[in-house]
Chains A and B, each alone.
Chain A
Amino acid sequence: CVQDLLDTNKNPNEAQIAQPDYLLTNAIKSSVDTYWGTTNNLDGTLLFAQHVAKIQYTEIDRYIASNTTFESPWKSFYSQGLRDLAEIIKIGETENQPNYKAVATIFRSWVFLLLTDAYGDIPYSQAININEYITPAYDAQKDVYHGLLNDLKTAVALIDPTKKAISGDVIYSGNLTKWKKFANSLRYRIALRIADKEPEVAKQAIAEIPVADLIGDGETAQLVYLTSPNQNPIALFFETRDDYRVSKSIVETLKSLNDPRLPVFANKTETATPEIYIGVPNGLTTSAASALGFSKTSKIGTYFTSPQTPGVILSTAEVLFGRAEAAARGFTTENAETLYNQAIKASLKQFGITSDDVVNAYLAQPSVKYNSANYKQSIGVQKWIALFGQGLEAFAEWRRLDYPQLPPAVAGTLDGKIPVRYIYPGSEQSLNLKNYKAAVARQGADALTIKLWFDVN
């Protein structure tokens, strides 16, 4: 009788045992979806970084945000991607599969990095451990970056191609060498992120990474999307909605540089206009935006609204820009200008521009040429272009490098300022109040205009 009752309660609907490969696919897909998706990207960082602008519902483009506005990235990064990855790490430990543990740790580091870049202090050391911490404390951003550098180092050391291979890897199809390179490139990214704040730590971290162990040509970390229902989240959005245009900031920059990426990033206006490509200024009022006309402004380039467009995590171009910057900062002895040019070349290649003539003509322009007197300007502007679509990364680099100099929203509500972080989700006030308060007190206030620790100027 008792046994009958217990048998009755066996859940027939869901798997009771997890497979790390299936979890890995899900962790990658859900994290990249969030990174590339609406709230985090189109309705957040792509606006702040002025890659796109809104032509309907312009509130967020005017920085009118409430404490629910940025709830969904927080929720999905933590409770989906990171949760699945924690399970893989556990399986990796208990079943002696170090490669799963290493890959999951590497990918987890990227997700934590996104979170801290966006929100600042975040639960990290107590996160994803509900049995011990039902209200996880927030780690200071500095500690998160340090922790991630360390996690990545450990993960790289853990990779052992002689041990059991991994599957379910929809980024590198189980190629562990490439995962190692991705891990090192992430370390490089983090080192530079803190370079203004802690140059010595940054320099030391970069010194530990052999250049050959970074992502090289054709090794960009990205998720190549499929067709419906696995299409690129931006493509999914534009199937039914038409709320965005390319930002005037990037259209004007590309025009001024005669940049061949303009037709990739922007479509021609539907109603032919003399300007061909017209960007929309960020932060117009609803009526001012709609007065520009839906058909008289440039939609986001078809490349980005196609189902199978990759969600880029870390590109070859980014690595090269990073190396150029490390050189410019004197962290390494490489040639900054050479690397800068290679980076631009890699970016052009990423967007399908491979003709040597076009590339060389572009690089030859004085406006493009590397300015060694102000590496932040050269690298800032070109990296901002190269990161088109990768909203959160572009936003982080713009905050760090302080270039390009972007105009605030036309009808902005932050007294002429541009947001420099997300607001924490309001739900933290009811669910994790004490730790939330401590984190806010440490950083100043929970407002869009409060600079994060890494953001020196």
Chain B
Amino acid sequence: QEIQLKGVVRSNDDHSPLVGASIVKKGTTSGVVTDADGQFNLKLNAGNVLVVSFIGFDSKSFVVHDDSFLEIELGENLNQLNEVVVTALGINKEKKSLGYSVQEIKSETITAVPEANLVNSLSGKIAGVQVTNSQGNLGSSRIIIRGETSISGNNQPLFIVDGVPVDNSQFTTSDASRDFANAISDISSEDIESISVLKGPNAAALYGSRAASGVILIKTKTGKGQKKLGVNVYSKNTFESVLTLPSYQNGYGQGSGGTFSYVDGKGGGVNDGVDESWGPKLDGRLIPQFFSNGVAVPWVAHPNNVRDFFETGHTLSNGVSISGADNKFDFRFSYNNTSQTGTLPNTDLGKNTFGINSSYKILPELVLSTSANYINTDAGNLPGVFGRRATSSMLQFAWFGRQVDVNQLKNYRDANGNLVNWNNSYYSNLFFIANENTVSQRRDRIFGNVNLNYKFLKDFTANFRIGNDYYNDRRKIKIAYGTNGTPYGSYQEIGYTVNERNIEFTLNYNKKITTDFTVDVLGGSNLLSKYYEENNQSAPKLAVRDVYTLANSRDPLVSSSYYSKQKKNSVFASGQANFRDYAFLNLTARNDWSSTLPEGNNSYFYPSVNASVLVSKFLNIESSQLSFLKIRGGWSKVGKDSNPYQLIDTYPFNAPFGSNPQLTVTNASLNANLKPETTTSSEIGAEIGLFNNNVRVDLSYYNTNSYDQILNVDVSPSTGYVSKLLNAGKINNQGFEVQLSFSPVKISNGLTWDVVANFSTNKSEVLELDKEGLLTAYRIAQSGSLSVLAAIGQPYGSLFGTAYKRNDKGEILVKANGAPDTDPNNKYFGSFQPDWIAGITNTFTYKNFSLSFLIDAKIGGSIYNGTQSTGTYTGVLAETLRGRDEENGGLAYYYPNNVKTQLPVQLASHTTAAPNSEVVYHDGVIFDGVKADGTQNTTILPAQSYWKTFRTINESSVFDASFVKFREISLGYNLPSKWIKAIGLQSANVALLGRDLWIIHKNAPHIDPETALNTGNGQGLESLQLPSTRSYGFSLNLNF
């Protein structure tokens, strides 16, 4: 009896229709696949057995009885083998078919513990991905996948949201001394369904010249499968407090040589212009101070004076989303609002995001979908960073009078309106700076895409997509009248406009050729056009105080503008052959034509090949011990083009000298023969499932060579240029990654314990800078005499600077005055790159409770500790107490005949008299070093001189940057459904949250060794950074 059978296939998780599920008569190849509604229509006979299968789901079999409408729900297959992941160009593929490592994390993992900067929520969760947190809680975050492959270019991965590249620039405005949030932080984690990390070239080869640093694919939530109207409401409330502060001494106050008395704070009194703490002992003696109008008042310690300056920050995130679907239409609308206040007074940031995702089935074969987002980020004032005198609070605390009570500074104007400060020769009052010298940022952004998908033949699908990302980022920098160093104040406006448009067409052919053999072929093209515009105007001196407009200027305005445009045309293809579902071969190819490269070099080809074999299936050795074993491997070549306008030297304008216009030759010698940077990468790996898939291991090893680097190398200025654009450098990165997950406990009463861990290493070596081998080092960044270099034979990011002078035995040599000597040759102090990074997440669930925590570690690497370097010089740090008096280990000594140019003579402790009645001092310290003849140093230095000798020796401030952090914790409770159903809720969850609660281990004193100056390559330099923050709070999540 022939039956016309109709039905629908859905996911049993969210009841969404499964498109492209196959319905096959058992034992044959004849069958159909479900349409865009998940529906099918098939003729067969009663008694036939149907097999319904869909990748990522467990198959089901049915015996056909009659022609009643079949509703089939498939369960998701959690077997890692059948897991479906998003790959390049947003194509879903079965993980088993891939010849490279790809790791995906889901919405819950991202949003469990909220984080304002999306990038930070990846920290510790993905092998090979290194995230460096920004300063404080309002700022940028840096992400590097598998090491730096570009010596001087951008090493941040490409971010793609729903198939469309979105910009992640930072635009460090150097005049502002702010760590502006990188642009990807606009995206709200709450709208993300999943993030797939394509680690480097092998996974990302289809992106060609944008793939070298890896790709982060973000898929946003849609309304698919939402049978009736769904409403989700959440609220997250967290508080941020300072996690680390330097350890300060509280024994001695401001001044020099033990004396201080305040008159005007700029040298009019006794050492009152000195911004250091080498003054009198804080023993309650009476001394005139900045707040006492010349009256001598008690000179006492305020141990919490720095901590008191900071506030408790607050982040409140609320959002609502509404979603729904029928068989033709689905949509999801979301609104998120975040408002943050920082730990520094008067800092804040607010964000509003509106998003809509929808799709409409015009015909069963033709689907139109759109996604649109509007985001407004608005910061009234961002925290001052970067150790600049006019803006940085931590700089002022590093040059500080330890007796200062910051609470006395809060009212920063006296009765006459004059500014009050503890020091007036270098600084302005911290509260005045916080309240009046503000830097605001406002970014308005629209991005989205329109997508048309047409399945015009049984095996052919065409897809057309146009995506656009546009934003306008405006910054306003105000310096108030009366600010130290800028007496007239100033006002600057900077505007950035960024637009990127991608138009993409793809054609896909998917066919099961024989029962053993399936091919999946894709071809397509992409047109990219991008422009960037910058406008910068400043009034260098205000005419009238407190009015911040460009017209209010005493001097001519200083203006500049910059516009750039680039285009890239691409064609690409990929093919996959699947043999019996256990052997897979994948090939990709892409050709790019870039506008930024010269004719003849602007077309370039990127191939990749990778393969995967399910050894366990192939050899038929699957068992309950060995659930599966897959090995994989691949090779790829990708690249990177240049920035616009790097070919021909130009002549920049300088402001005219009177009526004489001025042109100069550019600082950077450009290169008319640029070729693209090329990166080739080989990768091998294995995936293993053990004990019924209870233990899952993924191992990868990769080796990446990046050459023909477009390298703006510093050259000796004697060449006439500061830098030259070369096309030569070569860098190698190799690394090993492990991902491990297992469930130690799975008890039938509902208790489960899951562990997810990852571990990775990356080792880099700079192999070449220029073809002729003349250059030995490329300078990535610099702080004083310390450079961060890419130097031949060294790892990327090596610290290079002044060192102790040592003898053959490695002992430190001292000069005649007993102070350590400096080696005339600079030395290497390791690289900022860690030896290894790791993260481990433990999740416990029991009935309605779940507890999850993440610990992550970054071990090895070096950091230059600017806080320590400055703070020992200025005598504010705890260690500088040593030697100041006998109580603190100071030695007694005198100068013969009180002549201070003579070498001091040591006396027994507590001696108060010298042979010829010379003055006896008790603050002697002997540096632990040797004299030129190899004998132990015995020459005494006064403590103040002793502690001041180290600042010019970079080596003394380089530390191991290792840390282990208690990164995230959440304790959640799902309200029992019997309670919530009554009030119309589907589900409700409350949770307690914590982030960065504790630095479990670190070796660098005074600072959090995890610090990013910005998202650039110049890392490993701590420069009086803002203290990092811990965050704790609670969340509420309701589904109606």
Interfacial residues, chain A to chain B (CB-CB below 8 A): 1-2, 4-6, 8-9, 11-19, 21-23, 25-26, 29-30, 55-56, 64, 66-68, 74-80, 82-84, 86-87, 122-123, 127-130, 133-136, 168, 170, 226, 228-230, 240-241, 285-287, 290-291, 293-295, 415, 426-433, 445-447
Asked if A2 and B774 make an inter-chain contact with CB atoms under 8 angstroms apart, the answer reads no
The answer for the CA separation of A429 and B800 in the assembled complex, in Å, is: 11
* Residue B596, interface by CB 8 Å: yes
Asked if A286 and B662 make an inter-chain contact with CB atoms under 8 angstroms apart, the answer reads no
Asked if B779 and A427 make an inter-chain contact with CB atoms under 8 angstroms apart, the answer reads yes
Asked if A84 and B664 make an inter-chain contact with CB atoms under 8 angstroms apart, the answer reads yes
User: Which residues of chain B are near A290, meaning CB under 8 Å?
Assistant: 267, 271, 273-274
Ranked nearest first, the 8 interchain pairs of A and B with the lowest CB-CB distance are A287-B256, A123-B718, A14-B650, A128-B720, A22-B663, A11-B645, A8-B595, A78-B717
Asked if B274 and A170 make an inter-chain contact with CB atoms under 8 angstroms apart, the answer reads no
List residues 29-53 of chain B with CB under 8 A from any CB of chain A.
Answer: none
Asked if B715 and A134 make an inter-chain contact with CB atoms under 8 angstroms apart, the answer reads yes
Asked if A135 and B599 make an inter-chain contact with CB atoms under 8 angstroms apart, the answer reads no
List residues 307-330 of chain B with CB under 8 A from any CB of chain A.
Answer: none
User: Which residues of chain B are near A428, meaning CB under 8 Å?
Assistant: 716
Q: A82-B720, A83-B721 are in contact. Are A229 and B787 (CB under 8 A)?
A: no
Q: A136-B716, A427-B716 are in contact. Are A240 and B652 (CB under 8 A)?
A: no
Asked if B719 and A18 make an inter-chain contact with CB atoms under 8 angstroms apart, the answer reads no
Instruction: For B486, give its contact among A8, A75, A240 (CB under 8 Å).
Output: A240
User: Which residues of chain A are near B653, meaning CB under 8 Å?
Assistant: 14-15
* Residue B669, interface by CB 8 Å: yes
Asked if B662 and A26 make an inter-chain contact with CB atoms under 8 angstroms apart, the answer reads yes
The answer for the CA separation of A133 and B669 in the assembled complex, in Å, is: 13
Asked if B716 and A431 make an inter-chain contact with CB atoms under 8 angstroms apart, the answer reads yes
Quick one: closest A residue to B599, CB to CB?
A6
Quick one: closest B residue to A3, CB to CB?
B599
User: Which residues of chain A are near B259, meaning CB under 8 Å?
Assistant: 287
* Residue B909, interface by CB 8 Å: no
Asked if B274 and A5 make an inter-chain contact with CB atoms under 8 angstroms apart, the answer reads no
Q: A79-B667, A168-B660, A293-B267 are in contact. Are A5 and B602 (CB under 8 A)?
A: yes
Asked if B569 and A1 make an inter-chain contact with CB atoms under 8 angstroms apart, the answer reads yes
Asked if A129 and B267 make an inter-chain contact with CB atoms under 8 angstroms apart, the answer reads no
The answer for the CA separation of A267 and B556 in the assembled complex, in Å, is: 30
User: Which residues of chain A are near B594, meaning CB under 8 Å?
Assistant: 5
Asked if A134 and B724 make an inter-chain contact with CB atoms under 8 angstroms apart, the answer reads yes
B871 to chain A, nearest CB (A): 17
Number of interface residues of B (CB under 8 A): 84
Asked if A133 and B268 make an inter-chain contact with CB atoms under 8 angstroms apart, the answer reads no
What per-residue 1/0 map shows which CB atoms of B261-289 lie under 8 Å from chain A?
00000111011011000000000000000
> Could you pull out 15 A-B pairs where Cβ atoms are within 8 angstroms?
A2-B599, A5-B567, A6-B599, A18-B651, A22-B662, A23-B665, A55-B267, A76-B717, A83-B721, A129-B720, A136-B718, A226-B658, A230-B655, A427-B714, A432-B715
User: Which residues of chain B are near A68, meaning CB under 8 Å?
Assistant: 784-785
Asked if A4 and B952 make an inter-chain contact with CB atoms under 8 angstroms apart, the answer reads no
Asked if A17 and B651 make an inter-chain contact with CB atoms under 8 angstroms apart, the answer reads yes
The answer for the CA separation of A21 and B268 in the assembled complex, in Å, is: 50
Q: Which residue, B720, B722, B774, has most C-beta atoms of chain A within 10 A?
A: B720
Asked if A22 and B271 make an inter-chain contact with CB atoms under 8 angstroms apart, the answer reads no
Q: Which residue, A11, A82, A168, A229, has most C-beta atoms of chain B within 10 A?
A: A11
* Residue B566, interface by CB 8 Å: yes
Asked if B657 and A2 make an inter-chain contact with CB atoms under 8 angstroms apart, the answer reads no
User: Which residues of chain A are near B486, meaning CB under 8 Å?
Assistant: 240
A229 to chain B, nearest CB (A): 6
Instruction: For A25, give its contact among B556, B661, B714 (CB under 8 Å).
Output: B661
B186 to chain A, nearest CB (A): 27
Instruction: For A9, give its contact among B268, B562, B645 (CB under 8 Å).
Output: B645
User: Which residues of chain B are near A5, meaning CB under 8 Å?
Assistant: 567, 569, 593-595, 602
The answer for the CA separation of A430 and B798 in the assembled complex, in Å, is: 12
Interfacial residues, chain B to chain A (CB-CB below 8 A): 255-257, 259, 266-268, 270-271, 273-274, 425, 485-487, 540-541, 555-556, 558, 561-567, 569, 593-596, 599, 602, 644-645, 647-648, 650-655, 657-658, 660-667, 669, 714-722, 724, 770, 772, 774-777, 779, 784-785, 787, 789, 791, 800, 802, 816, 824-826, 952
A292 to chain B, nearest CB (A): 8
Asked if A130 and B721 make an inter-chain contact with CB atoms under 8 angstroms apart, the answer reads yes
Instruction: For B651, give its contact among A16, A74, A122, A170 (CB under 8 Å).
Output: A16
The answer for the CA separation of A80 and B647 in the assembled complex, in Å, is: 20
A72 to chain B, nearest CB (A): 10
User: Which residues of chain A are near B657, meaning CB under 8 Å?
Assistant: 25-26, 29, 170, 226, 230
Instruction: For B663, give its contact among A19, A129, A226, A432 (CB under 8 Å).
Output: A19
Asked if A78 and B555 make an inter-chain contact with CB atoms under 8 angstroms apart, the answer reads no
Asked if A430 and B718 make an inter-chain contact with CB atoms under 8 angstroms apart, the answer reads no
Asked if B665 and A134 make an inter-chain contact with CB atoms under 8 angstroms apart, the answer reads no
B668 to chain A, nearest CB (A): 10
B501 to chain A, nearest CB (A): 13
The answer for the CA separation of A135 and B720 in the assembled complex, in Å, is: 11
The answer for the CA separation of A22 and B593 in the assembled complex, in Å, is: 37
Asked if B952 and A287 make an inter-chain contact with CB atoms under 8 angstroms apart, the answer reads no
Q: A127-B719, A230-B657, A294-B267 are in contact. Are A429 and B648 (CB under 8 A)?
A: no
Instruction: For B662, give its contact among A25, A87, A287 (CB under 8 Å).
Output: A25
Instruction: For A229, give its contact among B425, B558, B716, B777 (CB under 8 Å).
Output: B558
Q: Which residue, B664, B715, B802, has most C-beta atoms of chain A within 10 A?
A: B664
Number of A-B contacts (CB under 8 A): 227
Q: A133-B719, A229-B558 are in contact. Are A431 and B777 (CB under 8 A)?
A: yes
The answer for the CA separation of A415 and B556 in the assembled complex, in Å, is: 49
Quick one: closest B residue to A435, CB to CB?
B716
Asked if A123 and B660 make an inter-chain contact with CB atoms under 8 angstroms apart, the answer reads no
Asked if B787 and A130 make an inter-chain contact with CB atoms under 8 angstroms apart, the answer reads no
Asked if B654 and A26 make an inter-chain contact with CB atoms under 8 angstroms apart, the answer reads yes
The answer for the CA separation of A390 and B776 in the assembled complex, in Å, is: 37
Instruction: For B556, give its contact among A22, A56, A229 (CB under 8 Å).
Output: A229
The answer for the CA separation of A4 and B593 in the assembled complex, in Å, is: 11
Known: A75-B717, A430-B800. 17 other contacts (CB 8 A): A8-B644, A11-B644, A16-B648, A18-B665, A22-B661, A29-B662, A56-B425, A75-B722, A83-B720, A130-B721, A228-B541, A228-B556, A240-B487, A285-B256, A287-B257, A426-B785, A431-B716
Q: A9-B595, A290-B267 are in contact. Are A432 and B716 (CB under 8 A)?
A: yes
The answer for the CA separation of A83 and B602 in the assembled complex, in Å, is: 31
Q: A130-B669, A430-B791 are in contact. Are A241 and B267 (CB under 8 A)?
A: no
Instruction: For A2, give its contact among B555, B593, B720, B791 (CB under 8 Å).
Output: B593
User: Which residues of chain B are near A128, meaning CB under 8 Å?
Assistant: 718-720
Asked if B724 and A130 make an inter-chain contact with CB atoms under 8 angstroms apart, the answer reads yes
The answer for the CA separation of A52 and B936 in the assembled complex, in Å, is: 41
The answer for the CA separation of A77 and B267 in the assembled complex, in Å, is: 36
User: Which residues of chain B are near A295, meaning CB under 8 Å?
Assistant: 268
Q: Which residue, A23, A285, A293, A431, has most C-beta atoms of chain B within 10 A?
A: A431
Quick one: closest A residue to B670, CB to CB?
A11
B729 to chain A, nearest CB (A): 14
Instruction: For A287, give its contact among B271, B663, B784 (CB under 8 Å).
Output: B271
Quick one: closest A residue to B556, CB to CB?
A229
B558 to chain A, nearest CB (A): 7
User: Which residues of chain A are near B267, meaning CB under 8 Å?
Assistant: 55-56, 290, 293-294
User: Which residues of chain A are near B660, meaning CB under 8 Å?
Assistant: 21-22, 25, 168, 170
User: Which residues of chain B are near A291, meaning CB under 8 Å?
Assistant: 270-271
Asked if A23 and B718 make an inter-chain contact with CB atoms under 8 angstroms apart, the answer reads no
Asked if A14 and B651 make an inter-chain contact with CB atoms under 8 angstroms apart, the answer reads yes
B499 to chain A, nearest CB (A): 14
The answer for the CA separation of A22 and B655 in the assembled complex, in Å, is: 11
Instruction: For A134, give its contact among B273, B485, B772 (CB under 8 Å).
Output: B772
B983 to chain A, nearest CB (A): 59
The answer for the CA separation of A21 and B645 in the assembled complex, in Å, is: 25
A48 to chain B, nearest CB (A): 19
A396 to chain B, nearest CB (A): 20
Q: Which residue, A55, A86, A230, A241, has most C-beta atoms of chain B within 10 A?
A: A230
